[in-house]
Amino acid sequence: MHPLAERIQNKDERALARAISYVENDHPEKLDLLKDIHAMQKKAHYVGLTGSPGAGKSSLVNRLITYLRSLNLTVGVVAVDPTSPFSGGAILGDRVRMSEHFTDPDVFIRSMGTRGSLGGLARTTKETVRLMDAFGFDVILIETVGVGQSELDIMKIADSIAVVLNPGSGDVVQVFKAGIMEIADLFIVNKADLPGVPKLLSEIDSMLDLVKHDAPYRPPVVQTISVQNKGLEEVWGELISHRAYLEESGEGHERRARSLKQEVIEVVHYELMRTLLLKEEKGGFQWVADVQDGSLDPYTAAEEILERWNKNQDGKE
């Protein structure tokens, strides 16, 4: 067994932190490590929180941690922030917001920066969740900003997906357009102290009628005022109910199966691209100039790259 895997099994938080760095930095031993921790996963409840910038996701996560700790549950948190390339504002904000938990050994918080491409970020995030699961947290909270494709990809690892909306923000239309409505399992109307709550509730309701009218599970809507600790018990109650639904209906099993398939494809995709492009780079990317000056079209160039790759593979056998 990889020494880090063994240390993670023995609940060494420093080993967990180190392992996450392996994942982020694409360390040569990364895949070996992930292989070893796979069987150690304990199937924590993965909860995704998504929503527009400033919707109050981090505040909610912070208060939820306190609430979950009061129930004696251990918590891992992954905050994904692809928008701040220099790991400035938001992540720093999260650090401050969640700092009260830093001395609690049963809480582990990690912000994922912008290392690698966005596709890489989605994968890194999922692998981090897997590592935290192997460590043995009861609940893993995954916070992502925004509603882009990459966030959607990340969210697909979650068992339960909560979408955070604010009154008076016009978020619902955005959420609807981005296809978030379909994947949401719970709506959290945060900042319920602000005006416009009834309007937002009725907007969510009509959207749900449209999108989920014949769905077996209609996502509930919960109101919270995270800065006043209001509504957290209801949020957790709904997440527990959703998890029970996942188990009873078999959908949880289906989701995890789909997610595993996707993870395999992502690893292959990434490793293949990495080795292939490394090879091309060694060859000096000779096609670049030809494509740029118009003497070679992009499609022939791509075809030639693939042919070279195939020949190369044949040669190895």
Using CB under 6 A, list all residues that contact ligand GTP.
51, 53-59, 90, 93, 145, 190-191, 193-194, 225-227
Residue with tokens 């979408």: 163
Per rule CB under 5 A, is residue 58 in the interface with Mg ion? yes
With binding defined as CB under 5 A, does residue 111 bind Mg ion? no
Q: Which does 167 bind (CB under 5 to 8 A by kind): Mg ion, ligand GTP, none?
A: none
Of the candidates 192, 182, 176, 266, the residue with the CA atom closest to the CA atom of residue 228: 192
| Distance of alpha carbon 275 from alpha carbon 288, whole angstroms | 18
225 is in the binding site of which of Mg ion, ligand GTP, none (Cβ under 5 to 8 A by kind)?
ligand GTP
Here the tokens at position 269 are 């995709």
The answer to whether 128 contacts Mg ion (rule: CB under 5 A) is no
- The token pair at 162 is 């909560």
Residues in the chain: 317
Nearer to ligand GTP, 23 or 145 (CB): 145
- Closest separation in Å from C-beta 59 to Mg ion: 8
> 59 or 124, CB closer to Mg ion?
59
Residue 252 CB, shortest distance to ligand GTP, in Å, is 27
Question: Is the CB of 3 or the CB of 53 nearer to ligand GTP?
Answer: 53
CB nearer Mg ion, residue 62 or residue 124: 62
Rounded to a whole number of angstroms, the minimum distance from the CB of residue 103 to ligand GTP is: 21
Task: Quote the least distance from Cβ 55 to Mg ion, whole Å.
Answer: 8
Least distance between Mg ion and beta carbon 46 (Å):
18
- The tokens for 114 are 């912008």
Closest to ligand GTP by CB, 9 vs 169, is: 169
Q: Which residues bind Mg ion (CB under 5 A)?
A: 57-58
